[in-house]
Amino acid sequence: MESRRQDIEDRATEWLRDRERETWSQEDEIALRKWLDESVGNRVAFLRAQAAWEAVGRLKALGAGLPRRQVPPPETLDEIQLGLPGSVPEQPQPAPTPRRRYRAIVGIAASIVAIAGLAFASYSAWFTGDQYATPVGGVASLPLADGSRMTLNTDSRVRVNFNEHQRQIDLSQGEAFFEVAHEVERPFVVKSAGKRVVAVGTKFSVRRVGEAIQVVVTEGRVRVETGGDELAQALDFSNAKEHDQRLTLSAGAVASAWNNDIYVKNHPLPEAEEILSWRSGFLIFRGSRLAEAAFEFNRYNTRQIVLRDPVVANMQLTGKFRATNVDTFVALLEQTHGVEVERTDAAFVLSAPRAMLSE
């Protein structure tokens, strides 16, 4: 039994190594998909190897400038400034993927994951035929048969349907980022909440909130076609411009579509990228209300943040935080700004400091 498991893990490592080569083809991708569909054990081994490798990339970025073999201290992973505008540390980027000595690196990565206390659930996805899903707190980067790549955010579900005429993704819940392989003859279409986001070769994300969607474009151009006020309440689009029911977006654009309307804000590209910091496990806020921060943290954690009064909801914060480290986030609020915290198994109930309520 142990030998069989080792064989599967070795094969998963070989698939990952081969996928990094320039000679990787669509036929190879189909063969990989067939192997993954053969058993749950194959899929688990592949995800474990992929998680270990991506953890190495993140730790290399976080550990830049540190002595060799030194793991970055936990305090470098979460920073906060409450009620004060300020700069946000630059988002760490994964190191480039080497193509040599892959098997040895994966073994080292598994050890680093254990040392750093990174949860495997943060890089997990479930496969069921052409459907993919992540658990709460999970993030997974997955190759697609056409050479594109899809990164699923926390608690997300998609169905993939590729044919000779069109590449279609149905996003039923959550959020996904797409790096689309260029194919003029086969548009890449993401359908969600009765709306369509159409691309040929580009990079963009789609997030569903109720019957609304948010689209962020970081490269190329995409077309949004409409067809929920909930997203407008969660995200500040009060100064956005309303457009027609079909709209083409360029890099830096952030669009919200609900009912038959599309609202757009154009950002400098680095600001648009910050909205997608979840891909490396972080949330970034700039002068955001605590109500917005709580809304985001609750997407990644089963233990929810509950705001008891409008005073605490309207507090502003600027900072960068690990999305699944809600305990540290709440403790920082408590220590640096005197927020009252009631802890239960299911929630952190936050209240404004008594001194503020008595003013």
Tens-digit pLDDT profile for residues 168-225: 999 999 999 999 999 988 999 999 999 999 997 899 999 999 989 999 999 999 999 8
Do both 332 and 238 map to the same domain? no
pLDDT at 106 over 50: no
- Give the Cα-Cα-Cα angle 180, 184, 186 (nearest 5 degrees): 75
172 and 239 housed in the same domain: yes
* pLDDT at position 53: 59
> Has residue 235 got a pLDDT over 50?
no
**Nearest of 213, 198, 184 to residue 246 by alpha carbon:** 198
The answer as to whether 97 is a domain residue is: yes
Q: With contact defined as beta carbons under 8 Å apart, do 136 and 119 qualify?
A: no
pLDDT value of residue 75:
39
Q: 140 versus 28: which is more confidently predicted?
A: 140
Of the chain, the percentage scoring pLDDT greater than 70 comes to: 70
Distance of CA 30 to CAs 11, 103, 146, 152, 253, Å?
Answer: 16, 23, 9, 20, 34
Paired with 318 in beta bridges are 81
Q: Select, from the ranges 8-22, 69-83, 84-98, 148-162, the one with the highest average predicted confidence (pLDDT).
A: 148-162
* 322 occurs within a structural domain: yes
Residues of the domain holding 172: 140-279
Question: Can you state the angle between helices 2-19 and 40-62, rounded to 10 degrees?
Answer: 60
258-298 residue pLDDT tens: 877 889 999 999 999 999 999 999 999 999 999 999 999 99
Distance CA 97, CA 100 (A): 9
Q: In this model, does residue 56 exceed pLDDT 70?
A: no
Residue with tokens 């005429």: 165
Q: Is residue 80 part of a domain?
A: yes
Question: Could you tell me how many residues make up the chain?
Answer: 359
Regarding predicted confidence, which is higher, 201 or 89?
201
pLDDT of the residue at 344: 94
User: Could you tell me the end-to-end alpha-carbon distance of the chain, in angstroms, rounded to an integer?
Assistant: 68
Asked whether residue 132 is domain-assigned, the answer is: no
Q: Quick one: how many helices (H) and strands (E) in the chain?
A: 10, 21
